[in-house]
Amino acid sequence: MNHLFTYSNQDFVADLYRAKKDAAGTVPTSSNFDTVLKAGWTDRMSRGLFRYHLGDLQTRILPGRRCYVAQLNIQRGLQRRKPQEILSIRQQFNATQFNFNKINPREVIFEMAKRPGHCAASAENERSCEPCRMLVLVNVSPLEFGHCLFVPEPSRCLPQILTRFAIRTGIESVLLSADPGFRVGFNSLGAFASVNHLHLHGYYLNHELHVEWMTAKPLVPERGFFRLAEFPAGFLFYTEADDVEKVAGAISQVTDFLVDANIAHNLFFTRGCSPYEVEDENEHTPKRGVRIIVWPRKSCFGAKEGSAFNVALCELAGHLPFKNRDDFDHMTEKDVMDVVQGYLLPNEELLKLQQQLTAHLTD
C-alpha cells in the first residue's frame, strides 16, 4: 500500500520569496510536501534504486543576460533507459513497451490526492472517468536532486498527452512547495518524451531561471494567456492559487489544440512573478503564483547522438544538463541559443498559431 499524501488549497504556499542558500548550499525552506518528497527520494537513492549515484553536479552560469544554468551530468547521458521509438505525437499506448506499470514498486514515493470537498474538479473527473490520484515515483536517471515523475493512475494506461487533471496537479505541486527551486515539466511525444505513458517531471534546481521574470505580452489575460516577449519564443500562462482550475482549463484547451494540429510541445511550471510585475533584484518580488510556459516546437523523434544536450522542457527554460565535458566547458550563450533556435517554430508559424490560439480561447 502506497503512502497517500492529501492536501487542500490551505496547504499552498503564498508570497514565496527566493531565499538565499545557507552554508551547506541548500535553501532553508520546506513544506510538508517538500519534506515527504525529499525524504522519500533520498531514501531511494541510499537504497541503490537509481541507475547511478547523483552527487553534487558541477554547475556554471554561462555569461550573458539569460544566465543559463549549465550542469555536467555525463552519467544520465550514458546510463538512462533508451528512449522508445516514437513515430507520432498521437501515438497509442503500447503495453508491450516499457511503461510505469512495470517499475520496481520500491521506486514509488507516495500517491497524492486532493482531500474530498477541496477539489472543484473531482465530480467532473468522476463523470469523465479522469484520474483523481497522482503516483509520485523517483526518476531512476535523475537530472537533479529530487527528480521524480508524476504519473496519473498508471493502470489507466494513458498515452503521453496532457489532461486537465495532470496540468492542475502539476500547478498545485509547485504551489505546495515552499522551495522556489521546485519545478515541474512535460515533454510531448515528438518533443523528447522517452516513454509513451502519461507523466510529468518534477525536480529541485536551486538557481534562478530567466523564465521566472521574463516579460510577456497579454493575449487573453482573463484566461491567464500571454506571449513571451523574449527568446525562446512561446506562450505563458500565469495563475495564483485562486485561479488554478480556470487556468488549467485554458492550458488544456491549448495543449489539446496542439495535439489535434500535430504540433509537438514542452511545458515548464515554475514559481514566478506576475507578468504585470517587474522583478526587482534588490526588492525580491514575491512569487505569489505559478508561471506555466508552453513552447510549441518542431517535432523531433529520437535522441540526437553526439549533441551537447537535447532541447526539451528544462533546456528551453534555461537549465542545461550537458552530456560531455568539452561542451560544458566551452559552449557560450550564443551557442546555446543557436542550438535551441533550431527546434523552435519559425516566427511566421508561431504568429499564425498565436492568432489561432487567441481565437480558440475567446470563443
Q: State the amino acid at position 150 in one-letter form.
A: F
Where are the alpha helices (H) located in 47-179, listed in sequence order?
Answer: 74-79, 122-128, 164-176
SS3 165: helix
- CA 233 from chain centre, in angstroms, equals 17
- Whether 254 and 235 have beta carbons less than 8 Å apart is answered as yes
Catalytically active residues are: 199
Residues 6+ apart with CB under 8 A from 176: 7, 11, 12, 13, 31, 32, 33
Q: Label residue 64 left, alpha or beta by phi (over 0 means left) and psi (-120 to 50 means alpha).
A: left
Q: What is the spatial order of strands in the sheet that 69-72 belongs to?
A: 59-61, 69-72, 319-322
Residues 6+ apart with CB under 8 A from 302: 83, 85, 86
Q: What is the 3-state secondary structure (H, E, C) of 344-362?
A: ECCHHHHHHHHHHHHHHHH
Where are the alpha helices (H) located in 54-188, listed in sequence order?
Answer: 74-79, 122-128, 164-176
d(CA 89, CA 189): 5
SS3 312: coil
Rounded to 5 degrees, what angle do the CA atoms 199, 200, 205 make? 150
DSSP state of 61: E
- Whether 174 and 182 have beta carbons less than 8 Å apart is answered as yes
Q: State the amino acid at position 244 in one-letter form.
A: V
- CA 73 from chain centre, in angstroms, equals 19
- Whether 174 and 271 have beta carbons less than 8 Å apart is answered as yes
Burial class (CB in 10 A: 0-12, 13-18, 19+), 177: buried
Among candidate residues 195, 164, 200, the one with its CA nearest the CA of residue 185: 200
